[in-house]
Each structure stands twice: as C-alpha cells, then as structure tokens.
Structure 1
C-alpha cells in the first residue's frame, strides 16, 4: 500500500509483519528476512540489530520468538522513528536507539549497550563495493548500501564488544567478499557456520550468511547452498515458506 507522503506499507512474513518504509532510499527486502531466518535466538535473549533501518530483520525475528529483549540500532533519525512506529504497529516491544555503530564504547554504554551485555547481534552492514557500484544521488541509499573501507571491521568490532562470551553474531554480506568477512571475524570469533545464497542456481552465489560465536572454537561448517530460485524465474518453494515465516534456515538451529 502506498500513501501520498512518500511512504509505503508493505507486508512481510506472509502478512504477519507490516512495515512502513520510505518509497525511495534503502528498502527492506529478502536480505532482511533471510537474516532473521538465519539468526538463532532463545526466549529471554538480549538481541541487538545493527543498522536496523525501519526494523525489518529484528522485528521479523521477534515475530518468531516473541520473548526476546530487542534493541534496534540505527544512525538515521528518520528511519529510527519509522522503526518505533513499526514496532508499535506490530505490538512488538523494542528499544530503538539512534547511534552510529562505529561509535566508541562509551556511547554504546550510554545508550544501554554495555560491553558483554548482548546474547545475539544480527546485522546487514552496507556492503556494496564503491569501486564497482556507481554513486547514487540518493544519500540515504548510499549510506545504507555502500561500504567504506572500515565498515565491516568496525561493525564486527562493535558486535564483539557488546556480545557476551559465547554470544552469537549473524550477518549477511556479498558472497565475493567472504574473505573480508572471515578476516574481520578472525579476532575474537570462531565456530563459523556459512550458508551461500544464490539468486540463480546457474551462477555463483551473490550473498553469504555467516553465524559466528564470540570465543568459539568449533570447526567451520559450510552448508549446502540456498537457491532462491529453482530456475531463473521459478521461486524455490522452500525459500518462499521461509520468507512467509513458516520455517528457519539451518544457521538458526541450536
């Protein structure tokens, strides 16, 4: 549904979740729902979403496990306000925090995110390579999509700082940047679980979902690839069930 004020109201999880979001700029889609479906949580967990935007991934996760304690961290004041609106409209309790993920530890602590206080962090950082993606005239879209040289390392560092030992980080990134992700996670994280995501089974993966454990020491596991489409234009029925909120991805299993 579209209104005249520059926003749309969109249904996710088969209509279980409705989100108000801007018509232009970054808009929530499959990546956010896949991230939520790949995140392992238990009732009572303190869960923090970095770069939450309008709250899509975190709120989708709360729809699956309602007893989590959710914080949505977003730098853009306008998007943070939409996240508040969306949480209330979907009857989900969430702390919405306006904060730059690259801020110092003191700013996180002032916002209620002290070191070693979170059980789960999930994030979909800006990951487009500026050398290969022409700059958009939409500044909000650039901020949400284009990675700076330090984006990944700073976001991983912030997640490591607020997670408890044994806490879980789940993130989505470009598949061709997997080496960057693993290098960033090498300090302080282990027990990696990796799920390649293909838009088309005939071409290489374009996304990768990764679950990592703070201080984890288990061997790395690579799961069979997730095919969003069985053929170029034929959606994978199992993925459609996941996107409708009727299942989880393997990374979300204990």
Structure 2
C-alpha cells in the first residue's frame, strides 16, 4: 500500500523547474503550465495563485518573470507545505498559505489578502462536471478535480475582491463550460482574451484559457486556437515550446497597458 506521504520529484519547463508532489492525490500537469504561459505579469507585481497545489503554475510563472511578490494559496496543509518547499528548492521567493478560496473576506484578511491589493490572480479551479465525471475514490484528487455548484462563482468572486482595479485574472476551465465562465466574469470583469485549447486539430476544444481585467472595457478577443498534438498524436512544436517554457501564449501579452520586457519568451 502506497504511503500517503510518499512523493516524487518531477521536472517541468524542460527540467528547469523541479517539483516534489504526492504520489497519491492531484498531480500537476499540462494545465498548470498552460495557465502559467497565458498569465501576464511584470517584475514587482503582487501575484496570487488560487488552489496552488504544490505550486506548479505560480512557480512556473515566477521562473519566467523574476521579481514577483508571489503568494500560493492552498487549502490542503500538506500541499501548501510542499509548495513552500518547492519554491525554496527552486530558488524562487514565494510564500504559501493554507486558505480555502471559498472562505470569507475575514479569512483572506487574516493572511494579508485584503481587497484591492493584488495585481494578478491565476487559477485552475476544480472544473469537472459532477453529473458527467466519475469522481476518484481518492478524496483529495476528487476535491481537486470536480466542481461544486458554487466553485466557479466563489473563486471568481474572491479574485474580484482581492484584485486592484485594472488587475487581471487568468484561469483555465473545461471548454464545454465556457458559458459558465463568461457568466461568472460578467460582473466586474471585462477586456476578456480567450484562447481555445484543442487536444488535436480535428477534435473539439478541451480547455479554454481566459484573461479578464477587473473593470476592463475593451472588446472580447478570441485568439487562434492552440493544438497540443498533431492529428497523428505527436506533440505540436508550439505545445513543446510552451511546455518547455520557451514560449508564452497570447493572453499573456494582451493588455491595455504597454507590454513589459518580460512578455516574450
């Protein structure tokens, strides 16, 4: 029987980012790296990752953009501890706190996440539809993968509360739930940049990456779709470059502000 505390050390960004994560439960993968590659940030920005797990997305972003004030938010103390250790092991300055994203404003304030105090939020919430997804018997894995009726709205509400005016939220969600995302963002967010992600070019999109600006008023932008694999199943050159940390995705450079020097790979 596998020890629930057992971990592996896995390479991301072509091996430049090394993360220790649990053998059991949720394990970081492509979604976290795609999210990081679609997130725009500049040195000095206060950046918060909601539902950070072992810190994959936030640390991948920090590996690309130096000088961030990075906070990793995770409700599982064991994962938060791993995120903290992963940051230190990779020489990245970041804090990790134990906090449920669906908690109230007082709980956020207790960890110094006050209203209108953050420049960038990135998040990969549990997004599988419980009516169509057979949950894992592992409770931690199920909690990380399956959404409840309040998950998306609660997470977007929390992001809206902590972001400064003009601050940006970047999130990844399942593509067939796009209408839910747009509805959740309708209050308080605008200047949306949307990127469909397809497993193969001849198949429907499986993910959607969205960047939204608090108080933004620019028209919606829909970028050309990203394909992770060729029709043969071979990874595309773009997918390899993104997963290796050599290229960013369009939402990371879409902003009403002038692009910073760290916006290109």
Same fold (TM over 0.5): yes
Give the aligned partner of residue 184 of structure 1.
184
Structure 1 residue matching 2:205: 3-state secondary structure: coil
Q: Which runs of 5+ in 1 are unaligned?
A: none
Distance in 2 between residues matched to 1:207 and 1:129, nearest whole Å: 13
Give the aligned partner of residue 256 of structure 2.
none
Question: How many residue pairs end up in the alignment?
Answer: 252
Give how far 1:232 is off: 3.7
Give the aligned partner of residue 216 of structure 1.
216
Give how far 1:86 is off: 0.3
Distance in 2 between residues matched to 1:57 and 1:158, nearest whole Å: 18
Distance in 2 between residues matched to 1:24 and 1:103, nearest whole Å: 26
1:147 paired with 2:147, answer: yes
Give how far 1:238 is off: 1.6
1:45 paired with 2:41, answer: no
Distance in 2 between residues matched to 1:51 and 1:26, nearest whole Å: 11
1:129 paired with 2:126, answer: no
Q: Which runs of 5+ in 2 are unaligned?
A: 254-258, 260-265
The question of whether the paired residues in 1 share the 8 Å contact of 2:13 and 2:60 is answered with yes
Give the aligned partner of residue 196 of structure 2.
196
TM-score by length of 1: 0.97
1:67 paired with 2:67, answer: yes
The question of whether the paired residues in 2 share the 8 Å contact of 1:50 and 1:101 is answered with yes
Question: Cα distance 1:232–1:147, how it changes in 2: closer, same or farther (>3 A)?
Answer: farther
Give the aligned partner of residue 249 of structure 1.
249
Distance in 2 between residues matched to 1:104 and 1:5, nearest whole Å: 30
1:86 paired with 2:80, answer: no
The question of whether the paired residues in 1 share the 8 Å contact of 2:4 and 2:22 is answered with no
Give how far 1:4 is off: 11
Distance in 2 between residues matched to 1:186 and 1:247, nearest whole Å: 30
Distance in 1 between residues matched to 2:67 and 2:103, nearest whole Å: 28
Give how far 1:234 is off: 1.2
Give the aligned partner of residue 35 of structure 1.
35
Distance in 1 between residues matched to 2:136 and 2:34, nearest whole Å: 25
Give how far 1:60 is off: 0.3
Q: Deviations over 1:114-134 (max 9, x none)?
A: 000000000000000011111
TM-score by length of 2: 0.93
Distance in 1 between residues matched to 2:183 and 2:252, nearest whole Å: 23
